[in-house]
Amino acid sequence: MLVAIMAIGTNAQEAERPWEATVTGQILAFRSGDASAALGFAGSTFQRTFQDAERFAAAINSMGYGPIIQSRSHSFAAFRQTAPDSVVQGVNLVGPDGSLYEAIYQLVNEAELGWRVHGVVLRKSAGLST
């Protein structure tokens, strides 16, 4: 019985919230150097502003988001639904040098586009990954 309960708990923890696919998709696109795909996960305002994907990636990097672009790994932390179509999601990242970072993503479920990144705040956390 305990094994069955543990299996249910594991599956529940592994269930992905719909906006997490957007965050993961954008992070993986940045890591692989696919600026076009990374821009595709951004909100419509970003897409209109940065019609050139390479310019988008360069701007994101120059604004200090390199630890996301070059991250080794990421995991999801707490989230808060701020409206039916809006969420704030915490993401823990391991930067390229093993430093730890916390990113707070603001996502909106845009009509016809689905969940899209509308903003990110990044800060370095204490410690190093193992």
Domain ranges of the chain: 2-128
pTM score, whole prediction: 0.85
Residues of the chain with pLDDT under 50: 1-13
Under CATH, which number does the domain 2-128 receive? Answer: 3.10.450.50
Residue 57 half-sphere exposure toward CB, CA atoms < 13 A = 19
Q: What is the rounded distance in angstroms from the CA atom of residue 113 to the CA atom of residue 123?
A: 28
| pLDDT value, residue 130 | 61
